[in-house]
Amino acid sequence: MPTTKKVISKDDLAIARKSGVAVLDLSWKATGDEFPRSIKESRQRALPFLVAGNPVNYSKPFILSTVEAFAAALIILGYRPQAELLMSKFTWGQTFLDMNREPFEEYEKAENAAQIIEAQSLFV
C-alpha cells in the first residue's frame, strides 16, 4: 500500500505463512487518502522501488498492476517460483520480471525491512 510507512520484507514471513498475502485491486488515484480503514495499520506494507511492465503503465516507477504487486511481494518473501508462475499467465509478465531483475536480486537477499530500504537506495 503506497500510504504506509513499512516496507514488505522477510520480517513478514511468519504473518504471510499464517494468514497469506492480500492485494487490493483498486485505483490509488481514485481512493487517495480514503483507503479502507478496516485493514490494521500493523498489517499494511509498501513495496520498494520497482517499475511496471504492464502495457498501461509501462516503465513507470511505483505504479504496478495488482498482479505485479502480488508477484513482487512473493519474490521479496522468497517465493520466486510462485511469482514466475503467476506472471507467466500474462503476455507482459516476463517483461515485468526482466525489467526488475536487478532490484529483485537485491530485495531477495535482504533479510529485513532495513536491508530492503538499503537495497532500494541502489535504484532511486
pTM greater than the 0.85 cutoff: yes
- Kindly state whether residue 1 falls inside one of the protein's structural domains: no
pLDDT digits (tens, 9 = 90+) for 83-109: 999 999 999 999 999 999 999 999 999
CA distances from 52 to 17, 19, 56 (A): 26, 27, 9
Chain segment 39-75, per-residue pLDDT in tens: 666 668 899 999 999 999 999 999 999 999 999 999 9
Percent of the residues in the chain that have a pLDDT greater than 70, as a whole number: 82
pLDDT of residue 24: 77
Does residue 40 lie in a domain region? yes
In a domain, 2, yes or no: no
Q: For residue 83, tell me if it sits in a domain.
A: yes
Specify if 62 maps to a domain. yes
Q: Give domain status of residue 47, yes or no.
A: yes
For the segment 2-22, what is each residue's pLDDT rounded down to a tens digit?
556 799 999 999 999 999 998
Structural domains of the chain, count:
1
Is residue 4 situated within a structural domain? Answer: no
Other C-beta atoms closer than 10 Å to the C-beta of 69 total: 21
**Separation between Cα atoms, residue 121 and residue 71, nearest integer Å:** 21
Q: Are 120 and 18 in contact (CB under 8 A)?
A: no
Domain containing 115 equals: 10-120
Position 107 in a domain: yes
Is residue 41 within 8 Å of residue 113, measured between CB atoms? no
Question: What band does 122 get if pLDDT is binned at 50, 70 and 90?
Answer: very high
